[in-house]
């Protein structure tokens, strides 16, 4: 793996929904092995930016380079791990076991017309062991708790053997205890396996505790600092003001709603 240089290079990314400009020209470099927390208020364009980086949306202006290649020409998509916002993307009655869900992570690496082989099964097993969920491989995904489900989705992303992993609000609806375990797991992946992480989160306390860099998005890139400098500069207040409080309370409401 290339350890010098940048894994992501954004140049002047802009995006509008009709007349409304959501992103106003964002340039940002993320080095290999980084752990970037992307923070900003609701509706600031964080998820839109993520979708542009992943190639799900086309920017109205600007370019995205992943691994030094323009996203439009990127062939090796298995180097991208993606953990979507669980709550909105997932049908709890879907008839799939934990094992089957993680195996989906291998589908992309295999490509069209290629069968799943024994080595894929090894990757799945290892990915589930990495997130401490191998013991659950026979269970239905919908029967697990929110925190366990999110670990399985991490395992699915890991099974592709990514160099960079994108996580969109991964801890919404997960109780405090599971949330802390979850961040410990992310730290392990970043430190131990050298996977670069891009984490979109409202959970600013947790993000500042773990991430190496913080990017503040509010239509524009309003700050991009090391976490240390971010905390020192006390940017938290500028970003959220009252919004942060509201959101922290919201998390408590979710506390026991997971079956």
Partner 1 sequence: MTPFLDILHYDFVIRGFEAGIVVAIIAPIIGIFLVLRRYALIADTLAHVSLAGLALGSLLGVNPVAMALVVTILSSLGIERLRTTRRVYGDSALALFLSGSLALAVVLLGIAHGFDINLLNYLFGSIITVTATDVIAIVLLGVIVIAILALFYKELVYVTFDEEAARVSGIPTKSINTLLMFMSALTVSLAIPIVGVLLIAALIVVPVITALQFRMSFTKTIICAEAVSIISVLAGIIASFYLNLATGGTIVLVMIGVFLLVLMWKSR
Contact residues for partner 1, defined by CB under 8 A = 54-56, 77-78, 80, 82, 84, 89-91, 93-97, 99-101, 104-105, 107-108, 110-113, 116, 138, 140, 156, 160
Instruction: Give the tokens for residue 27.
Output: 């340039």
CB of 16 to partner 1, least distance (A): 18
Per-residue b or e along 176-197, where b marks 16 or more CB atoms closer than 10 Å to that residue's CB: eebbeebbebbeebbeeeebbb
On whether the CB atoms of residues 18 and 195 are closer than 8 A, the answer is: no
CB 222 within 8 A of CB 231: no
Closest CB 118 distance from partner 1, rounded Å: 16
CB of 157 to partner 1, least distance (A): 8
Tally of CB atoms within 10 A around 51: 16
Looking at the Cβ atoms of 17 and 94, the one nearer to partner 1 is 94
Least distance to partner 1, CB of residue 220, Å: 25
CB closer to partner 1 out of 92 and 246:
92
Helix (H) or strand (E) segment spanning residue 250: helix 243-254
Q: Which is nearer to partner 1, 165 or 239 (CB)?
A: 165
CA dihedral of residues 124, 129, 135, 140 (deg, nearest 10): -40
In angstroms, give the least distance from the CB of 114 to partner 1. Answer: 9
Give the nearer residue to partner 1 in terms of CB position, either 123 or 240. Answer: 123
Q: Which is nearer to partner 1, 1 or 56 (CB)?
A: 56
Nearer Cβ to partner 1 (70/245): 70
**To the nearest whole angstrom, how small is the minimum distance from the Cβ of residue 149 to partner 1?**
12
Torsion sign (Cα): 125, 173, 85, 218:
negative
CB-based contact 12:5 (threshold 8 Å): no
């Amino acid at each position: 793996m290339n350890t010098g240089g940048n894994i992501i290079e954004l140049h002047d990314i802009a995006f509008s929904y009709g007349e409304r400009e959501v992103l106003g020209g964002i340039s940002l470099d993320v080095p290999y092995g980084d752990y970037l927390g992307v923070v900003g208020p609701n509706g600031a364009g964080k998820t839109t930016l993520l979708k542009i980086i992943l190639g799900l949306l086309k920017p109205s202006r600007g370019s995205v380079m992943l691994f030094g290649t323009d996203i439009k020409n990127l062939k090796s998509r298995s180097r991208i791990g993606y953990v979507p916002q669980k709550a909105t993307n997932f049908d709890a009655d879907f008839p799939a076991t934990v094992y089957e869900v993680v195996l989906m992570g291998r589908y992309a690496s295999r490509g069209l017309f290629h069968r799943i082989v024994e080595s894929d099964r090894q990757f799945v097993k290892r990915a589930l062991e990495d997130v401490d969920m191998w013991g659950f491989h026979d269970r239905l995904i919908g029967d697990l708790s929110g925190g366990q489900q999110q670990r399985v989705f991490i395992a699915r992303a890991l099974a592709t053997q990514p160099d960079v992993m994108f996580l969109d609000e991964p801890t919404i609806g997960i109780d405090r205890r599971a949330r802390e375990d979850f961040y410990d797991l992310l730290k392990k992946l970043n430190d131990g396996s050298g996977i670069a992480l891009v984490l979109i989160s409202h959970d600013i306390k947790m993000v500042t505790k773990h991430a190496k860099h913080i990017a503040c998005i509010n239509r524009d890139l309003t700050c991009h600092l090391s976490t240390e400098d971010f905390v020192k500069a006390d940017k938290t207040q500028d970003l959220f003001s009252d919004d942060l409080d509201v959101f922290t309370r919201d998390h408590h409401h979710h506390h026991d709603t997971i079956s």
